[in-house]
């Protein structure tokens, strides 16, 4: 990919995560694609609204769809008996990134289990009629050493050439609202830049810039108005999380996402007009070459 420069065209991927998580999320993503600026999404294969999402994808063929690989906070696709190091006594993934990371660092996560589950997720998406444009992951677990190599091996096996690198770009001007989020962002960016080099050497394609961790779940209209004039040349991905009913998503209240506010921003005609006024072209992951 050409190095991004000041004179290079500005291209933007607006990727909505968690397609398939819940009916409210599905409705919001498809609406934000039809009526707004969402160009891309990643599907959570183990989500309760996965089958409904498949129907919506068929009705929205211009939406680029990748796979949102998941190893925490949801139910696995595989039989829990076959991936014992990834699940708790109830057969569910560990509830938090921290719990997973603790097991991972202590050597209690079997990479054979990881590969089996991630491959099952990719296979299930493809069997559902999706041709994945790219891969990313819930809680960005594809950035972890060794897991990143498994993800690459699976991407090569299934012909998926593009991947998310969530290294928050300083150009965004967006700030996290807590010291914890800022600290997490620095760690994620550090891992992401290491993976950028690794995946780049292996021939994977990825955007030049990423925005969305600092304001994860809070990419509202003020955030967009602040961001748009700052976008640089090259390809930028903005990660978003729209939903159309905050009350319906109370099961995920611990994520502290402002689902409806994000949807409102993504369908705001003024936001689209601002992108056009700044000469920013909307694309999806499949357009990266």
Quick check: is 85 in a domain?
yes
Cα dist. 254→25, 34, 49 in Å? 16, 29, 20
| d(C-alpha 92, C-alpha 32), whole Å | 31
Look at residue 256 and tell me whether its pLDDT is greater than 80: no
Quick check: is 4 in a domain?
no
DSSP letter assigned to residue 87: B
Look at residue 55 and tell me whether its pLDDT is greater than 80: yes
| d(C-alpha 49, C-alpha 21), whole Å | 6
pLDDT at position 6: 53
Q: What is the mean pLDDT of the chain?
A: 94
| d(C-alpha 54, C-alpha 50), whole Å | 6
Domain of 25, in residue numbers: 10-287
Beta-ladder partners of 40: 15, 64
| d(C-alpha 83, C-alpha 175), whole Å | 38
Quick check: is 169 in a domain?
yes
- Which backbone phi and psi does 279 adopt, to 5 degrees? 70, 35
**Largest pairwise CA distance in the chain:** 55
Number of domains in the chain: 1
What would the mean pLDDT of 253-281 be, rounded to a whole number? 93
Task: Give pLDDT tens digits for 87-134.
Answer: 999 999 999 999 999 999 999 999 999 999 999 999 999 999 999 999
Quick check: is 1 in a domain?
no
Quick check: is 5 in a domain?
no
Look at residue 277 and tell me whether its pLDDT is greater than 50: yes
Quick check: is 3 in a domain?
no
| d(C-alpha 275, C-alpha 289), whole Å | 22
DSSP H or E segment with residue 102: helix 97-105
DSSP letter assigned to residue 84: G
User: Radius of gyration of the chain from Cα atoms?
Assistant: 18
Burial readout 130-146 (b: 16 or more C-beta within 10 A, e: otherwise): bebbbbbbbbbbbbbee
Look at residue 179 and tell me whether its pLDDT is greater than 90: no
Quick check: is 2 in a domain?
no
Quick check: is 102 in a domain?
yes
Residue with tokens 């600092």: 214
| CATH number for the domain that contains residue 272 | 3.20.20.370
pLDDT at position 250: 77
Task: Give pLDDT tens digits for 58-87.
Answer: 999 999 999 999 999 999 999 999 999 999
């Amino acid at each position: 990919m050409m190095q991004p420069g000041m004179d290079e065209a500005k291209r933007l991927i607006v990727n909505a995560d968690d397609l398939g998580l819940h009916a409210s999320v599905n409705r919001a993503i498809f609406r934000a694609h039809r009526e707004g600026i969402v160009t891309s999404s990643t599907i959570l294969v183990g989500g309760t609204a996965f089958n409904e999402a498949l129907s919506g994808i068929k009705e929205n063929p211009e939406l680029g769809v990748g796979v949102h690989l998941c190893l925490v906070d949801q139910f696995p696709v595989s039989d829990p008996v076959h991936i014992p190091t990834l699940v708790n006594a109830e057969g569910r993934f560990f509830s938090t990134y921290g719990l997973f990371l603790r097991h991972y660092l202590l050597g209690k996560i079997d990479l054979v289990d990881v590969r089996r589950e991630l491959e099952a997720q990719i296979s299930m998406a493809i069997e559902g009629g999706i041709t994945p444009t790219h891969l990313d992951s819930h809680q960005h677990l594809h950035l972890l050493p060794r897991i990143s190599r498994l993800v690459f091996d699976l991407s090569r096996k299934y012909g998926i050439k593009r991947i998310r690198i969530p290294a928050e770009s300083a150009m965004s001007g967006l700030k996290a609202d807590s010291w914890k989020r800022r600290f997490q962002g620095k760690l994620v960016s550090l891992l992401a830049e290491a993976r950028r080099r690794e995946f780049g050497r292996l021939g994977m394609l990825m955007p030049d810039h990423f925005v969305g961790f600092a304001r994860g779940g809070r990419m509202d209209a003020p955030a967009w108005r602040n961001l748009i004039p700052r976008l640089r040349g090259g390809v930028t991905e903005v990660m978003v999380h729209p939903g159309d009913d905050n009350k319906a998503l109370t099961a995920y209240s611990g994520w502290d996402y402002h689902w409806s506010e994000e949807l409102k921003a993504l369908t705001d005609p003024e936001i689209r007009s601002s992108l056009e006024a700044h000469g920013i072209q909307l694309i999806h992951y499949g357009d990266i070459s």
